Amino acid sequence: MSTIKEITTEDEWRAHVSALPSSTLLIISFHAPWAAPCAQMATVLKTLATEYPANGETSWVSLNAEELSDISETYDVTAVPYLVLQRNDKVLETVSGSSAVRVWTAIEKHAKGGAASADTNGTSAAIPADKPAEVEAEADPVKAKEELFKRLGELVSAAPVMLFMKGTPSAPQCGFSRQVVGLLRERSVKYGFFNILADDEVRQGLKEFADWPTYPQLWVDGELVGGLDIIKEEIENDPDFLKAYVAAKEGVTAA
């Protein structure tokens, strides 16, 4: 059975890739230690890897997206967990988010001799009876929602101050997100962020989870503050709002 290799340096990465046969499917998992969904995805991938023989047809690696930022930028990683499937230096498919079904389907589709089978239109894959428990749970809509809400609960608490925005702090994709980033930076607030444009599951699910239909959303200690207008109102009413989260420099700005 295959195992997942943790890549810790760029030299180790280059050596690993260069040693792979051109036919090997390289499965690259980008993660960040503070992001709870990454732990969930690590469990899913570890389970899936055991179903593939260690015969060189697949190679499984895990990289810290923050520590190996140059490699992350090469693959346009803007949120974690983020999976890249590559063969012979060519990216075949990427999966953003922690959906076990999407990850399983993508790997089965591209792995040589995979157990997935296409339907008559050649557009979908059949999940076998012995699929991992994590995948089976997501096949049930009720369990899938429970798992999503569990993930969202962990995600909104991933950092004391969490900003769910369109884009990234360095490249906001809407004016409201840009303004919130500006307010946080002006006050030197240490915060984590999540680019909701990179994960539609989070984008749609968080609206229901938070009972708040728009973005950006600011969460503090796992509790929703609100959008731009409410943030401005809180700052106006309380000059010390977010003072407890001020850092010497902007810190956890990682997707």
| Concatenated DSSP letters of 68-114 | THHHHHHTT--SSSEEEEEETTEEEEEEES--HHHHHHHHHHHSTT-
Supply the pLDDT for residue 96: 87
Q: What is the rounded average pLDDT of the residues 161-170?
A: 91
How far apart are the C-alpha atoms of 138 and 144, rounded to whole Å? 4
> Structure pTM?
0.52
Supply the pLDDT for residue 134: 55
Angle between helix 141-155 and 200-210 (nearest 10):
80
Supply the pLDDT for residue 136: 54
pLDDT tens digits, residue range 170-226?
889 999 999 999 999 999 999 999 988 888 888 889 999 999 989 999 999 999 999
Superfamily of domain 156-245: Glutaredoxin (3.40.30.10)
C-beta separation of 232 from 225 below 8 A: no
Q: What is the mean pLDDT of the chain?
A: 83
Fold type of domain 4-142? Glutaredoxin (3.40.30)
Supply the pLDDT for residue 84: 96
Beta bridge partners of 96: 82
Q: Where in the chain is the domain with CATH 3.40.30.10?
A: 4-142, 156-245
Instruction: State percent of the chain over pLDDT 70.
Output: 85
pLDDT tens digits, residue range 103-117?
888 898 898 644 333
C-beta separation of 41 from 98 below 8 A: yes
Supply the pLDDT for residue 141: 72
